[in-house]
Structure 1
């Protein structure tokens, strides 16, 4: 994997401001509800202008998903940068398991509370669905490239959707490891058959 360039002071400051805005907004949303918090209130809490908030986040819903682009890149990297001896399914299983463990370590029960908050907020559910579609397309394209295809086949498109739904299901469950293990056990059999035909 290529080494990430070191950020300069200006970039670090911008990244810190962006993170502070998102973290503050999410905490306020969880406390009072998404519709009950204005962008101006968030800006005031972080001590920036509303214009600055919108410079980082084009719409209010995006405040909750500040790591959208990074997550999509990491998902694609799990396929592209895996060891050649590791199947795509095994690589994604490991990637999701590591992500759930990291989230649990960092947020504890907060991850499940966050998922419940998303499910209860229609504007965020709609935004998340559009975000997930972008992830699905990116994952499908990475898998197609791995097979030397110009575009994802119907099987690859379906697989990408299934895999991402497994992640959502596991994240919202009391026993995410069991969900991941069970789902990937089922996916593995079908994937081996598909990969063998290529």
Structure 2
């Protein structure tokens, strides 16, 4: 399938949006979220405040600038998976392909600290993940032919979205992601105790 070429205007809009998001994140990391205003961000990105609001709904959205793309990609992983591929295998591949590179980014620890230490960002992130849970749950429900309020689909969606949080502090993040998906696929069993000395 051929992807239509992106026009010059769309490329310019995307570049402006990215420049604004990059400037905002840099300022937030340097000064702290509450010490940076929209005017500061506009000046750093060399745009007007109106341009900032043209691309972003508010200050919190600047931190989570890829939010909408992530949600679309997440549901696409389920809806557009390969023929014969299970929903869990498609989600496993999505998490491995998208989250592992993000987790390895040199600024990831600073970004995580910024979000964790800023109440407004924590609340925004929670609302974002709730919306992602609803979208993913609906995609799963559609694929298996059940109602959107199906509890099993909602629980699976929520758990999948928590995998990056659970794997974040692990030495081998890939192995942690794989282990969690194995639990989802095969069911949970109590871990075996190490033999007594």
TM-score, structure 2 as length reference: 0.88
| Kept after mapping to 2: 8 A contact 1:57/1:63 | yes
Structure 2 vs 1, CA of residues 73 and 99 (structure 1 numbering), >3 Å: closer, same or farther? same
More helix by share: 1
Unaligned runs of at least 5 residues, structure 1: 192-198
1:161 alignment counterpart = 158
How many angstroms apart in 2 are the aligned matches of 1:3 and 1:165?
34
The reply to whether residue 88 of structure 1 matches residue 96 of structure 2 is no
Unaligned runs of at least 5 residues, structure 2: 189-197
How many angstroms apart in 2 are the aligned matches of 1:45 and 1:15?
17
Shift, 1:116, TM fit:
2.0
Shift, 1:174, TM fit:
4.2
How many angstroms apart in 2 are the aligned matches of 1:172 and 1:16?
33
- Partner of 1:48, secondary structure, is coil
How many residues of Structure 1 are paired with residues of Structure 2 in the alignment?
188
List, as ranges, runs of 4+ consecutive aligned residues in structure 1 with deviation greater than 6 Å: none
Shift, 1:101, TM fit:
3.4
- Partner of 1:6, secondary structure, is coil
Q: Could you tell which deviates more after superposition, 94-103 or 17-26? A: 94-103
Alignment of 1:15-94 (within 5 A): 15-94=14-93
CA RMSD between the two structures: 1.8
How many angstroms apart in 2 are the aligned matches of 1:149 and 1:173?
35
| Kept after mapping to 2: 8 A contact 1:24/1:45 | yes
How many angstroms apart in 1 are the aligned matches of 2:107 and 2:52?
24
How many angstroms apart in 1 are the aligned matches of 2:179 and 2:103?
20
Matching residue within 179, 183, 186 for 1:182: 179
Shift, 1:28, TM fit:
0.9
Matching residue within 114, 117, 120 for 2:114: 117
How many angstroms apart in 1 are the aligned matches of 2:2 and 2:112?
33
Structure 2 vs 1, CA of residues 173 and 56 (structure 1 numbering), >3 Å: closer, same or farther? farther
Shift, 1:166, TM fit:
1.1
The reply to whether residue 148 of structure 1 matches residue 145 of structure 2 is yes
2:192 alignment counterpart = none
Shift, 1:6, TM fit:
2.2
Shift, 1:168, TM fit:
2.7
Please identify the structure whose Cα radius of gyration is greater. Answer: 2
| Kept after mapping to 2: 8 A contact 1:112/1:172 | no
